[in-house]
Structure 1
Amino acid sequence: MDGGGAPVMVDAVRAAPRRSWGAYWQAAPFAIVFLLFFIVPLCLTVAVSFWHYDEYSLQPAFTLENYEEVFDGCIAKLPSLCVTFATYLSTLRFALMAWVCTLVLGFGIAYFLAFHVRTVPMQMALFLICTVPFWTSNIIRMVAWVPLLGRNGLVNQGLQAVGATSAPLDWLLYSEFSVVLAFVHLYTLFMMVPIFNSMARIDRSLIEAARDAGASGWQTLWSVVIPLCKPGIVIGSIFVLTIVMGDFVTVGIMGGQQIASIGKVIQVQMSYLQFPIAAANAVVLLGIVLLMIWALTRLVDIRREL
């Protein structure tokens, strides 16, 4: 028996490295794509942020002038806000407002689909309806709001027809309201899908046990559903916050080119061929986004929960 078992163990030992290398070979194509289209451009952006530039040329060098220009006079003006701090604060405010709105809407829709729609085909059909807007371009979806929210749009005409307002509401379009509305329209699905995935994994016997113990609907929601949905909430929050922080197209179109955001600042700097200062702003923005992601991942261990 010992003689027959020895070859089997030798074959198992030899097969283990092959299985290990097989996993690496399977991951290699994705690792190469990630390296070429994410790591390399990111490293180039960081490198360019230290270059020197003038009106006519870019000069590879190592200088902190670009970062000094980004925060020029910001410390001296405290407690007043410089242009850079005000722009970052405005961007953060838009991100937080969009996050709150998408969280409320996404959680509510996911809760309805997970606990009130019993059949999987119906859930899939409703999910398909939610994805219909993504069949068109983001710009088309944003432009579609103009005839609705403009001074002579359907909303203003309807409000005046029922006597709710005596004059058109100017703040419906090309304002902070329209920017946040567009963000919510575009990115609620990014919040809803991870939350729904977490809710779908909840053991329904836990809900029944909470009800049998006398918990009300709100108590069950707060003590059972929300804690078990934390991974989905964190993942959806990361999606929404990171996208909104770098979005400049939505702010430009829905804000009428009158509202500043850090993404818009970077886009303008690149249009003027000020690549080093734009790269410095991008690196600072990346650092802020990474801090936000780090803070969210401290709330729950996503890898362990998933």
Structure 2
Amino acid sequence: MSPAAERAIRLLGAAAVPRAVPGLAAEGWRQRRLAYLQAAPLALVFLVFFVVPLSLTLVVSVWEYNEYEIIPAFTLQNYADIFDGCFSGGDLCTTFRTYLSTLKFCLLAWAFTLGIGFTVAYFVAFHVRSSAIQTVLFLLCTIPFWTSNVIRMIAWIPLLGRNGLVNDALMSLGLTDRPIEGLLYSDFSVVLAFVHLYTVFMIVPIFNSMMRIDPVLIEAARDAGATGWQTLWSVIVPLSKPGIAIGSIFVLTLAMGDFVTVGVMGGQQIASVGKVIQVQMSYLQFPAAAANAVVLLGAVTLVIAGLTRLIDLRREL
């Protein structure tokens, strides 16, 4: 190949390489700066109301304390006290039993809220065609949130108590000879209150996922000969997984840290991690309560990490 031909090829190759346009680079920098400015207020709120309190909790959890004062000296004794006797064999320690009790309530509440939430969301999304009626139904779901959680829980006491309406009705119908003791201040009442409080947190994300399902997919499944259950299991449930995962995160995280519901509906007789932290704070044992809160946060983080590994929410959303 002649030198002239080689020079021509090099010139053509240099011309084919795109060159940065100063105007476009400046415009890209302005867009990135605008994005940062838009995210700054939310980032500031996140920093002030989440990162700073969490950091303070972590710091206090490694401080010493006694009956009279909190001593700002580093120690891991608070964490050692939490797991005292848990790895020596034999029976389960108090911490593990408390976490198992809390996990039991969380799983029961999750199962019931998932069943009710999926059913309600499916009915509203696919059987209610009018948007006005859908709005009315959602308002009905949110009416309980117009009052305090404590008031809503207290409202169950006249119904489930020993002389409550439910026991009176059962005895009037001859279904039982005496009042049923386990309706109130029991595991049943705690799970019932959880379902009452948190079902709406399962309904809304599942409904949002179902509304994004293209009706053409459902029609295609029906045209292919799929039954209603096959369409539900093979089309609707897989496409609703993001909403199910988000609702599950809401319900599990709220139930794991709840101590008011367990205290009111359990008659102060049922142990939970949130209840332990509340009792320690009432006795001014803030470092011990902070250490328990850090451990609870770690457990909740593991649950969320497990759910996000099952479903890639960033990709699905």
TM-score by length of 1: 0.96
Q: Distance in 2 between matches of 1:54 and 1:112?
A: 57
Alignment of 1:65-76 (within 5 A): 65-76=77-88
Secondary structure at 1:259 match in 2: coil
Paired position in structure 2 for 1:172: 183
Paired AA for residue 54 in structure 1: N
Alignment partner of 1:288 is 2:299:
yes
- List alignment gaps of at least 5 residues for structure 2: 1-20
Q: CA deviation at 1:10?
A: 3.4
Paired AA for residue 250 in structure 1: T
- List alignment gaps of at least 5 residues for structure 1: 1-8
Paired position in structure 2 for 1:191: 202
CA-based RMSD of the aligned residues comes to 1.1
Q: CA deviation at 1:41?
A: 0.5
Paired AA for residue 98 in structure 1: A
Alignment of 1:1-306 (within 5 A): 9-76=21-88, 78-306=89-317
Q: Which deviations, in whole Å up to 9, do the C-alpha atoms of 1:37-96 show, x marking residues without a partner?
A: 1001001111111111111111112211000101111112x3411111111110010000
Paired AA for residue 230 in structure 2: Q
Q: CA deviation at 1:124?
A: 0.6
Paired AA for residue 181 in structure 1: L
Secondary structure at 1:60 match in 2: strand
Q: Distance in 2 between matches of 1:152 and 1:45?
A: 44
TM-score by length of 2: 0.92
Secondary structure at 1:61 match in 2: strand
Q: Distance in 2 between matches of 1:205 and 1:26?
A: 37
Q: Distance in 2 between matches of 1:61 and 1:21?
A: 43
Paired position in structure 1 for 2:12: none
Q: CA deviation at 1:204?
A: 0.8
Q: Distance in 2 between matches of 1:293 and 1:83?
A: 24
Q: Distance in 2 between matches of 1:49 and 1:29?
A: 29
Aligned residues: percent identity? 69
Q: Distance in 1 between matches of 2:113 and 2:170?
A: 26
Secondary structure at 2:73 match in 1: coil
Q: Distance in 1 between matches of 2:199 and 2:300?
A: 19
Q: Distance in 2 between matches of 1:211 and 1:79?
A: 57
Q: Distance in 1 between matches of 2:85 and 2:35?
A: 52
Secondary structure at 1:59 match in 2: strand
Q: List structure 1 segments (4+ residues) > 4 angstroms apart after TM superposition.
A: none
Paired AA for residue 223 in structure 2: D
